[in-house]
Amino acid sequence: MANTVDKAKIKEAAQAKKRETYVPVVPDMQLGFIHNNVDCIGCRACEIACKDKNGLPPGPRFRRVQYVEGGTYPEVYAYKINMSCNHCAEPACLPTCPTGAIFKRQKDGIVDIDSTLCIGCRRCEAACPFGAPQYNPELNIVQKCNMCVDEIDAGRKPYCVMGCMMRVLDIGPIDKLRDGTHETKARAPHESIVRQVKNMADPELTNPSIVFVAHSKGRVK
């Protein structure tokens, strides 16, 4: 823990960096998610596995499966979008944090919140374009998905991926997921990959590390 001298130094350092905007960590390799919107059956096993792993009460949802339904008979459709934290290349949450609780790992680009440093100002929650940071009203702090870093460090996949019975959710190096060279069950060889689906915030804002196999009604442009 920082002693008082360090705290004074932190303030000084902040002053010295006046008007310097934040420069994101460029990870050695960026991990990201892939989700197949079409084959997902919406069982929410991933959500529950996540809640279980993180001991979350009702309310905060690190991961959320969204049901998108529409059309008029006979042309009806339904598909799912599944997002947690997208571990963005240039996260919007990180620069808003006044205590340095949010950080991005050099090793794999995972964005994590050290909740013990969180003062619950909720700025990260507001700034995130994808609704990832979740407010915990009981503790008055914000928490979010960290891709189960402990599992990653142990060479395994996160709980949500392990819980997915349809194998429509997976992780991998995002570059390889994007160019289709990463082997995954979430995408069939003929299926193409997109960065954004309908009604999702513009990926240009933060360059999120997620790709989708989109439903025909969920395509943008």
Partner 1 sequence: MRSALVISVASGLFLAIAALNGAIGPGSFGAPGGAQAAETAQKPAAKPVAAKPGDPAAVDYLRAQWNPIHFKPAIDKATDADCLGCHQEIGKAKPRDASPAGVKAADTQAWYQTLDTYEGAQADFHWRHISSPFAKQVMNLSCTFCHQGNDPREESPHVTATDGKGAIQTAWERNEPPFTLRKMVNPSETCLRCHGAFPATSMGLEGKWHELREGMESPDAPNGCLTCHADQFRLVRHQVNYLRPDAIEKLAAAGSSDTCFGCHGGRAWYRISYPYPRHDWKDMPTEIPDWAKDRPKQSDARFLTKTK
Residue 48 lies near ligand HEC (rule: CB under 6 A): no
Subset of residues 127 to 146 that bind partner 1, contact rule: CB under 8 A: 127, 129-132, 139-141
Q: Is 201 in the site for ligand HEC (CB under 6 A)?
A: no
State which of residues 122, 176, 178, 185 lies at the interface with partner 1 (CB under 8 A): 122
Nearer to partner 1, 47 or 152 (CB): 47
Q: Is residue 25 at the binding interface for ligand HEC, with CB under 6 A as the rule?
A: no
User: Which among 87-95, 144-152, 165-173, 187-195 is the span making contact with partner 1, rule CB under 8 A?
Assistant: 87-95
Distance in angstroms (rounded) separating the CA atoms of residues 93 and 128: 5
Q: What is the per-residue burial (b if ≥16 Cβ within 10 Å, else e) of 184-211?
A: bebbeeeeebbbbbeebeebeebebbbb
Nearest to 45 by CA among 134, 159, 170: 159
Does 127 bind ligand HEC (CB under 6 A)? Our answer is yes
Site for partner 1 in 38-57 (CB under 8 A): none
Query: Looking at 8-128, which runs of residues are DSSP E strands?
Result: 31-36, 64-72, 75-83, 102-104, 111-113
For the chain, the farthest-separated pair of C-alpha atoms sits apart, in whole angstroms, at: 70
What φ, ψ does residue 136 adopt, rounded to 5°? Answer: -110, 100
Residues near ligand HEC (CB under 6 A) are 96, 123, 125-127, 131
Residues near partner 1 (CB under 8 A) are 1-2, 7, 10-11, 14-15, 17-22, 64, 66-72, 81, 83, 90, 92-93, 95-101, 115-123, 126-127, 129-132, 139-141, 197-202, 204-207
